[in-house]
Structure 1
Amino acid sequence: MTRILEARSDEAMAIREAIALLARGLPVAIPTETVYGLAADATNPDAIARIYEMKGRPRFNPLICHMADLPMAERHVIFDPLSRRLAEVFWPGPMTLVLPVRETSPIHPLARAGLDTVGVRVPSGMAGRLLAALDRPLAAPSANTSGGISPTTAAHVAADLGKKLELVLDAGPARIGLESTILKVENGAIRLLRPGGLDVADVEALTGTLVVRPHGAGAAIEAPGMLASHYAPAAGVRLDATSVFPGEALIRFGGRSLPGEERAAIVLDLSPTGDLREAAANLFGYMKEADRSGAASIAFAPVPVHGLGEAINDRLRRAAAPRE
């Protein structure tokens, strides 16, 4: 069973223990501002293979590599001027940039699924300080079984991966609760590969250009979170519900009641006040709570698509997609 180490009281000790395991090629679950990540040395192929094995993740799905700061990232990837501007403004924070990998970078091809690009980001908080102390990149997808609901607390990680994992650093609930926004600059245009914790409107306001959204299904996998079915609970998922079937779990938004909710197995509200940031922070935790209710299906009331609602709706569509 995994050991959960409360890291807020003695962060330096927690970082030392994590580094000792990482040096042995063992993954460690770490807190970030987005979700909890399953981190391992991005230069060590055995360590990276353990991430894929623990998660049951397909190896064609690349991993995000986390950096301590922009100078560390520059040692591993090549920045165009627009990507550099985005990094200077939004790092540390919930933004990943997909960039060409340098020939001299020791990031192993397994971490980038053999691509000549790699997704990089600089996390804030304890994760950033761990990276600075380690002084090498960490591959760190979400610390959960592949395709399932991402973890926003240490307890979520332990409940899912506890029999496979030695250590979880506990820094409390993730502040943002959604994975990073993934962007790629091509020919001066910014492409959105995955909406996430950074509002795309902030990117557009900074650059004065519209971010290009994905068109249709079947796109090549260039970054995490692009699989059609992802973030899925065990229960079925029904979107844009206007009423509730008897025995369903209900996750609503904005304090609005739905007909039939008195017969629901459980009723949760992502944000009674209609705050999309609160809704994002609660999304994965509430999905797990609804799943634990034993309901065969989870009904989701509509969530606005603007701001962080774009990322919330992306996660819900993938959770509801047909599963292989």
Structure 2
Amino acid sequence: MERRTKTMDDSLLRLETASGTFLAASVFSSKALAKMLIKTGANHIEQPMVCVSNRIDLLDIVAEFPETAYLLSTRFWPGSLNLIFSSGENVPGILNNRSSTVMVTMPQNDEFRQFIDLHGPLAVVKDSCEESEFLGSEDGEVFKTDSGIINDDATVISFLDSHSPLIVSPGSIPVEKIKEVTGTIEWFTGGSVQNYFDKQSPSLVLSTPLFVAEKDSLSVYDQSSCNRVALVTFGESVNFSSEYEFVRNLSLAGDLGEAAANLYPTLQDLDCRGYDAIFLELLPSQHPLGSLLNRRLREIGLDISKFGLLMNEAY
């Protein structure tokens, strides 16, 4: 069977179901995924569920589809089985917080699978916004069903360790039935599914010193502190010092979705260029996605603005 053309729809979808309301975005669209993070709020850190309507779509989503995973999916999909894989190169890092993992299921709901056929594979998360807020945006397509679309009692199995299946969370599928397909199987003993994902998500590590600050602090850099400095900014331009050797804007239009998609690739690219330091403008914290990204940036860099330091005093 041939792969179908990947859908790159940037719109956000709303799913109203018997088990609650969800938001959905194309698994291939950084912009749509960023919108989904904004809508669900800064506290949403759970791994989104990727829903497919056929196994062919997995070829564009996962790095490898082991034979045992294929046999499990053939026997238990559509149904209460979630499979975890290393994500493929087509999947934006914003989907999985750069952990390079993806959790996939094929829903039992026939109507929803037809909806996925129309829109392509969808990343799905629980909705936290009001209906009026959603419908007032540029998006607004709504899928409604009297049934559920995500099984809370799903069995979760990981294939991150090559071909060796690991039960991360037992569910409604009897273990004996799984063993009929897999033979022996291992168990994750570290707690919840989210704990498992957290263990797969190390912070971004940079060899170049990273300093983060509010926009106003970025214009006071003194070149005497180091020779080669890169600056990463966002939105409306400011008259920054000409001493910065390189300036890159994450989004000239001030689009947080675009900035989120560009952030990690930009830092990784600059880290390879041999700069003495990277200075980065913190994103607008009044927006949920900006607040979420700022927290992560403060984990991997030094926030000099909160210490009242000038750039040249920090390095």
Tell me the TM-score normalized by structure 1: 0.48
Structure with greater Cα Rg: 2
| TM-score w.r.t. length of structure 2 | 0.49
